[in-house]
Chain A
Amino acid sequence: MAMAESDPNVAGTIPRALAGRRFGDRAFKWFTLLMALTVFVLIVLIGCELADGSHLALRQFGWRFLVSSEWDPVSEQFGALPFVFGTLVSSAIGLIIAVPLSIATAVYLTELAPQWLRQPLTIFIELLAAVPSVILGLWGIFVMVPWLRVHLFPWLKGAFGFLPLFQGPIYGLSMLAGGIIIAIMVLPIITSMSREILRSVPGLQREAAYALGATRWEVTRIAVLSYAKKGLFGAVILGLGRALGETMAVTMVIGNNTQIAASLFAPGNTLASAIANQFAEATGDVYLSALFELGLVLLGVTVLVNAFAQLILKTFAGPSVTPQN
């Protein structure tokens, strides 16, 4: 130190002793760690609150809750089956419509569309993703459902009326309308996810196929789609996760009738729509507890589906995105 102080340049105004504490560094690091760990706290909190809210129903109905189709607030008998059924059916309808459209659009956006069109189309899709569920529901009630009732449903009934799916009276508000609105909600999600995945296909893959004299579509099919298959599957599962939990728009067009009907024209209910719709009127403790249990079921299903989707997407993304373990 004596050496250093004899140096005229060391006449500094900031401390120069080599020894010292690193309290600031450590405190900051631990604080950010704490903030990062809140994600685990939130997961635990969600599980605990739902379990706590539903303990009355859990105790009273046990596993029967999942398979019973009785939902009678007056006699306080509750079963989740109609809602599980409605959730699965409406999500299935949504995905059947949305998956081919989304993936084809993603292919168009990344491979086939003229360059000038790609940017604006992408922006439109991102804006569609930003439309709140409640606004889509509003549009659904007043524009889509009347149109379905007058045009699409009667036509479907005429053409496919021999199937039990398309029989019975047409109200407009229905399982099918719920499925269609779910399709609109998940379209932009699956499309933008698929687009990211297709864009991540290495250019070398395409060039190799072009070098063989393949047409644009052939390049897409051989080099791009086969390479991206797993990632696209992940995108679809992610869309499923979203479809299962979609609430407001579905609540507004599905009809909110607790039943298990073969016909898609019949009104139905999903787990999420039942909670949103009946929450305000749930006066009894057991009733409220049963709604919480519906939430618990919904949480379990969506977390499993989402975790599955994330695992697929993370393994697809490869070493550039996933950190090495």
Chain B
Amino acid sequence: MPFTSNRTPAVPTPASAATPAAPATASPALTIRNLTVSFGTNKVLKGVSLDIAARAVTAIIGPSGCGKSTFLRALNRLHELVPEARMEGDIRLFGEDIYGAAVEPVVVRRRVGMVFQKSNPFPTMSIADNVTVGLRLNGLRNRTLLAERTEQSLRMAALWDEVKDRLNAPAISLSGGQQQRLCIARALAVKPEVLLMDEPASALDPLATAKIEDLILELKRDFTIVIVTHNMQQAARISDLTAFFYLGELIEYNTTTKIFTNPAKKQTEDYVTGRFG
């Protein structure tokens, strides 16, 4: 899996003028301009521009294959794991270009964490080791600090009370919902500024999903959250802003209330009312 940063500098194109206006945010956590990502000859994202508000939940919705996941992965350069991936455009994290020539993807990812669709705690490690792995493998050795951070992260992920007596048990002994909250705790432990969530509840039962949703509402007080979901009720319940993607393009971006009650575009309306396709 070679890292290849095939990136051409952003060229302002007339098309950018036509992209939907973002809702006004005072100081966006992420500003994305003219983002185009292609895998080989397949263009997955076409000139997407939007601002992600800090300390808010932004939901990305759209039918399968609309580029939601790719968009999310471009935000922490994880799409670079695919050898033939190419990106164009400009993404800034609090004003810093994350694709700058001297920028290490590793550091971008420390500041922009991610939680995946399928919970993936490391099978060879205990619960506590899973939480601290990001810190330990980045050179943090202080045991007190690690223990502190473990409790803090597990508390933030609302998992502490369930696991505090068995921190050394293997992580894979947890239930599916607990595993996913453990993955969230693991991502929080490195103190990211932005947390990306790729359909974090799609593999969970309704009860576990409810817990994750409560958690997200809790976390937005401290973090900027971008969540991809195919569940529109979920998007409506937890997000402040919603972006609707279709065939690699950003169709509409606005407050969640506006998107779900009074969308500006016909396609958005069809999708959120379930009349799509």
| A residues adjacent to B (C-beta < 8 A) | 1, 3-4, 7-22, 25
Q: In the complex, what distance in Å separates the CA atom of A3 from the CA atom of B97?
A: 13
With A3-B94, A4-B96, A16-B111 in contact, is A10–B193 under 8 Å at CB? yes
Chain A residue nearest in CB terms to B2: A29
Residues of A contacting B232 in the complex (Cβ-Cβ under 8 angstroms): none
Q: Choose the segment among B37-45, B59-67, B135-143, B159-167 that binds chain A (4+ C-beta atoms closer than 8 Å).
A: B135-143
With A16-B111, A17-B107 in contact, is A10–B191 under 8 Å at CB? yes
Known: A9-B191, A21-B104. 4 other contacts (CB 8 A): A7-B94, A9-B193, A12-B110, A12-B190
Min distance, Cβ A36 to any Cβ of chain B, angstroms: 14
Q: Is B102 within 8 A of A7, CB to CB? A: no
Instruction: Tell me if B145 is interfacial: C-beta within 8 Å of chain A.
Output: yes
Chain B residue total in the interface (Cβ 8 A): 28
Q: In the complex, what distance in Å separates the CA atom of A229 from the CA atom of B106?
A: 49
Instruction: Tell me if B246 is interfacial: C-beta within 8 Å of chain A.
Output: no
Q: Is B145 within 8 A of A13, CB to CB? A: yes
Min distance, Cβ A8 to any Cβ of chain B, angstroms: 8
Min distance, Cβ B22 to any Cβ of chain A, angstroms: 18
Instruction: Tell me if B264 is interfacial: C-beta within 8 Å of chain A.
Output: no
Min distance, Cβ A100 to any Cβ of chain B, angstroms: 45
From A14, A16, A25, give the contact of B139 (CB < 8 A): A14
Chain B residue nearest in CB terms to A1: B96
With A13-B140, A14-B138 in contact, is A4–B107 under 8 Å at CB? no
**Residue from the set B93, B108, B111, B139 with the largest chain A CB neighbour count within 10 Å:** B111
Q: 14 A–B contact pairs at CB < 8 A?
A: A1-B96, A4-B93, A4-B96, A8-B222, A9-B192, A9-B222, A9-B223, A13-B135, A14-B140, A15-B138, A17-B107, A18-B96, A18-B100, A19-B103
With A3-B27, A9-B223, A13-B140 in contact, is A18–B190 under 8 Å at CB? no
With A9-B223, A10-B193 in contact, is A4–B140 under 8 Å at CB? no
Q: Is B193 within 8 A of A7, CB to CB? A: yes
Instruction: Tell me if B98 is interfacial: C-beta within 8 Å of chain A.
Output: yes
